[in-house]
A and B are shown apart, each in its own frame.
Chain A
Amino acid sequence: MDDRDLQYQKYKAILVNYLEEQSEQTLYKGQQFSRKMIEQKISPEEAVSLHVSVLEELFPDIPEPLKNSYDFLLEMMIGYGFAYREHQSLRSRQQQLESEIEIAANMQQTLLAGDKPEVPSLEIGAISKPAQKMSGDYYHFVQDENDCVSVAIADVIGKGIPAALCMSMIKYTMDSAPEQRMQPGAVLENLNRVVEQNVDPNMFITMFYGLYDPRVHSFYYAGAGHEPGFFYDSQKDEFEELFTRGLVLGVSKKTSYQEYQRVLNGNDMVIMLSDGVTECRSTNGFIERDEIVALIRKYIHLSAQEIVEEVYRELERLQEFELRDDFTLVILRREV
């Protein structure tokens, strides 16, 4: 007996059973059988054809009009058969795309994984967690021969693959403009021109860019519509907002960015974050900026890297481990 015969006999048994007594149990058996047929990629018109042949065996004297109507039904089902096969091929195409996205996401991670630089007298902590497979948040460090460290933290609005491509564009521009790195305002103006030309109309980028010069313990910075960070003054034991004024990148061609400066004493910190941090939602509503500060304060005795990790862990717990937005937190601390 080949597969087809076996299928025929099984279907016949179930159908006969059902015709004798219309029980729920037999209906359930029918459901299970159809699931198996789908697994075996039996098309809808084949299923109808199976039904018709069993009927013809069970009732050899089916009236002619009824018999003809089955042929008609069979013809009707062919359209469904096409749709079914198209669905099958789309499904396999989708699986293929998903695995391609996975690979691309991994590549992006390698490409963008900015190594944290080792700088004498400066402690760096950084964490970035994407909400989707590819991250719209981004941070990047560049260290020059004088041990000056520049840091960029950005959020590309518009998510998924286009956002990720935009990230790569920024990294490329930053890496290829070494003479400019020292002037945060100019860096942002330059990037704004690039983004304005390239990005689709609904997309924009918020970015904070800073440069720490360990020779004079100074942090120079500018912002393009980015969530303000914090400055921790260790002598006063106070957190202040690290305010910057400037339009997001990619909206207006002629935009200039003001530059600011802070001197870091021992143990002072510069804290940079993405709006994924302040747009966190717990069961009790939004997480306010004060709460972020309180969390940082709670772990202030730890290393910069440990602080960012602990803060992330607590916020993750508050949102019941369901990240709605990308999350990025970077801390620079001048060592004593």
Chain B
Amino acid sequence: MNLQIKQEDHENTHHLHIGGEIDAYTAPQLREALLPLTGKEGHETLVHLSDVNYMDSTGLGVFVGALKSSKEHGSSLKLTGMTSRVQRLFEITGLDEVIDIEDVKGGSK
């Protein structure tokens, strides 16, 4: 199972485009890409998840870790473009209320 990560940086804003599957095997890869960004004070990280077709709870764990890191270092983290399957995971776990998730269906920004 594969994970693709593409990173674009515009000054203090970082875009991570994720594709493929986030599970126990690929989660460490995501963590390595994400945590250095959330550890930068004042920086903003946007994670684009529209090409993620599967995510399990280990993947959620990475975002929980990233959320804690961004709070600790005063950076911001936002997730966007998730499929309904992935969104359901965030809803069941209640993480949608603590993590900033952009609702693309609502057509914002």
Interface set of A (CB-CB < 8 Å, partner B): 155, 157-159, 201-204, 206, 224-228, 245-248, 250-252, 275, 279, 325
Cα–Cα, bound, A203→B27 (Å): 12
Q: Counting CB contacts under 8 A, is B93 at the interface?
A: yes
Overall SS of chain A's interface: loop
Cα–Cα, bound, A225→B94 (Å): 5
Stretch at the interface among B5-13, B57-65, B74-82: B57-65
Cα–Cα, bound, A228→B91 (Å): 11
Do B97 and A204 have beta carbons less than 8 Å apart? Answer: no
Partner among B31, B57, B64 whose Cβ is within 8 Å of the Cβ of A251 = B64
Most B CB contacts (10 A, CB to CB) among A158, A159, A203, A246 go to A158
Do B64 and A225 have beta carbons less than 8 Å apart? Answer: no
Do B92 and A228 have beta carbons less than 8 Å apart? Answer: yes
Given the complex, which residues of B lie within 8 Å of A227, measured CB to CB? 92
- Interface residue tally on B, bucketed by range: 10 to 19
Do A202 and B95 have beta carbons less than 8 Å apart? Answer: no
Do B98 and A251 have beta carbons less than 8 Å apart? Answer: yes
Given the complex, which residues of A lie within 8 Å of B61, measured CB to CB? 157-158, 202-204
Cα–Cα, bound, A204→B99 (Å): 14
Do B57 and A275 have beta carbons less than 8 Å apart? Answer: yes
Q: Counting CB contacts under 8 A, is B67 at the interface?
A: yes
Cα–Cα, bound, A158→B24 (Å): 8
Partner among A159, A202, A226, A252 whose Cβ is within 8 Å of the Cβ of B92 = A226
Cα–Cα, bound, A260→B31 (Å): 36
A233 to chain B, nearest CB (A): 22
The chain B residue sitting closest to A200, CB to CB, is B65
Cα–Cα, bound, A159→B61 (Å): 11
Interface set of B (CB-CB < 8 Å, partner A): 24, 31, 56-58, 60-62, 64-65, 67-69, 92-95, 97-98
The chain A residue sitting closest to B89, CB to CB, is A275
Given the complex, which residues of B lie within 8 Å of A201, measured CB to CB? 64-65, 68-69
A-B CB contacts (within 8 Å), total count: 57
Given the complex, which residues of A lie within 8 Å of B58, measured CB to CB? 157-159
The chain B residue sitting closest to A206, CB to CB, is B93
Known contacts A159-B24, A248-B95; A202/B57 CB under 8 A = no
Do A247 and B98 have beta carbons less than 8 Å apart? Answer: yes
Do A206 and B98 have beta carbons less than 8 Å apart? Answer: no
For this complex, 21 residue pairs linking A to B, each with C-beta atoms less than 8 Å apart, are A155-B57, A157-B57, A157-B60, A158-B61, A201-B65, A202-B31, A202-B61, A202-B64, A203-B64, A204-B93, A224-B94, A225-B92, A226-B92, A247-B94, A247-B95, A248-B64, A251-B67, A251-B98, A275-B56, A275-B57, A279-B56
Cα–Cα, bound, A182→B5 (Å): 47
Given the complex, which residues of B lie within 8 Å of A228, measured CB to CB? 92
The chain A residue sitting closest to B68, CB to CB, is A201
Cα–Cα, bound, A231→B31 (Å): 38
A241 to chain B, nearest CB (A): 11
Given the complex, which residues of B lie within 8 Å of A226, measured CB to CB? 92
Given the complex, which residues of A lie within 8 Å of B98, measured CB to CB? 247, 251-252
Given the complex, which residues of B lie within 8 Å of A279, measured CB to CB? 56
The chain B residue sitting closest to A227, CB to CB, is B92
The chain A residue sitting closest to B96, CB to CB, is A247
Cα–Cα, bound, A261→B3 (Å): 42
Cα–Cα, bound, A155→B58 (Å): 11
Given the complex, which residues of B lie within 8 Å of A203, measured CB to CB? 61, 64
Given the complex, which residues of A lie within 8 Å of B56, measured CB to CB? 275, 279, 325
Cα–Cα, bound, A158→B65 (Å): 11
Partner among B31, B60, B69, B92 whose Cβ is within 8 Å of the Cβ of A204 = B60
Cα–Cα, bound, A250→B56 (Å): 18
A71 to chain B, nearest CB (A): 46
Do B65 and A225 have beta carbons less than 8 Å apart? Answer: no
B35 to chain A, nearest CB (A): 9
Given the complex, which residues of B lie within 8 Å of A204, measured CB to CB? 60-61, 64, 93
